[in-house]
Amino acid sequence: MRIEHLRERSDLGVISTSTLKSLGVPNPRRRCEPGGPWQQMHPGVVLLHNGPPTRDQQVTAALLRAGPGATLTGAEACRRYGLPASGTEIHVLTPTSTRGTGPLITEQASPMPASTNIDGFPVVPASRAVVDACRQLRSVDAATALVAAAIQRGRCTPESLTAEAHTNRYGTKLVRTVLKDLGRAQSVAERDARRLSKRIRLTTPHWNVTIADSDGLIIGRPDAWFDEVGLAWEIDSKAFHYGARDYERTLARNSRYAAAGILVVQTLPTRLRDKPNAVEQELKKAHAAAAARPRPPVQIVEPT
């Protein structure tokens, strides 16, 4: 059979050896030998060219290897949801026992979770994907970053992640620890900021609250707000300020703080992580300076 016809019967050029044999290709593995026109992606799964496979072809091959009813989870599923998951493995859930090879992780699930179609691929719900991705991680910061991003971007709620982690407890100690430690923090940096403020006993109950002037005009939404002295603390990551518009927004925000008489401490997450003692001194001095002048006429705006 001509290669064009084989490609038509394949999915993105990925096809099973059993299908190839049914189409009249007697020994598909021979064409996957070094120097041959094809390549074997997994046992029984062939890619109809010998060049580097695309990520979609790798995912297609993984699902074909896992068998009918398989669905994506873990880091690859997280990336399909637009989440910054690390890890190159492809984690697949399957209703039957199938052995994965190489970077393919196959896991039998009973019952199988519901799935949704993203870009033509079956994907588990976001909370299951995040929890399964965290099961493959060893870094607390990497797990915290993923969990925080999932919550911030509205893909999951803390409640859905907690429920998922307790429903599937095997290997979920890290994510359960992260969920407990993260609390109401919205990022790794904010978690570190909360830890620092607690350690130096310069605590505040006001995190990510909206501040307005006496006329009700919105000034900003600092990461931490020391209401008794009118001090704002912003954890400004370079990653969010590379673009011209982001830089302009930061300047406009700082101008509003200045016009309202609010002192602001700006801290890079890397400095908070690597030089916490220096950040501690800066925060203490700024708090003392804010306390030494009249408190500006600003207020917290309660959510409606």
Q: How far apart are CA 131 and CA 73, in angstroms?
A: 9
pLDDT grade, residue 240 (50/70/90)? very low
Residue-wise pLDDT for 40-49, tens only, equals 999 999 999 9
CA neighbours within 13 Å on the CB side: how many for 276? 13
pLDDT (average), residues 101-116: 90
Helix, strand or coil, per DSSP, at residue 164: helix
Residue-wise pLDDT for 9-65, tens only, equals 999 999 999 999 999 998 899 999 999 999 999 999 999 999 999 999 999 999 999
What does pTM read for this prediction? 0.67
Q: Where are the alpha helices (DSSP H) in the chain?
A: 3-9, 17-22, 55-66, 74-80, 126-135, 140-152, 158-167, 173-182, 188-199, 244-260, 269-274, 276-291
Q: How far apart are CA 128 and CA 114, in angstroms?
A: 10
Q: How far apart are CA 202 and CA 196, in angstroms?
A: 8
Residue pair 94/65 in contact by the 8 Å Cβ criterion: no
pLDDT grade, residue 132 (50/70/90)? very high
**Check whether domain 189-301 has CATH 3.40.630.30, yes or no:** no
Please state the φ and ψ torsions of residue 22, each to the nearest 5 degrees. Answer: -70, -20
Question: Which of 263, 259, 285, 281 is CA-nearest to residue 272?
Answer: 281
Which burial class, exposed, middle or buried, applies to 89 when counting CB atoms under 10 A from its CB (0-12, 13-18, 19+)? Answer: middle
Q: Tell me which of 126 and 100 has the higher pLDDT.
A: 126
pLDDT at 185: 52
pLDDT at 249: 81
Question: In the chain, what are the domain boundaries?
Answer: 3-53, 58-182, 189-301
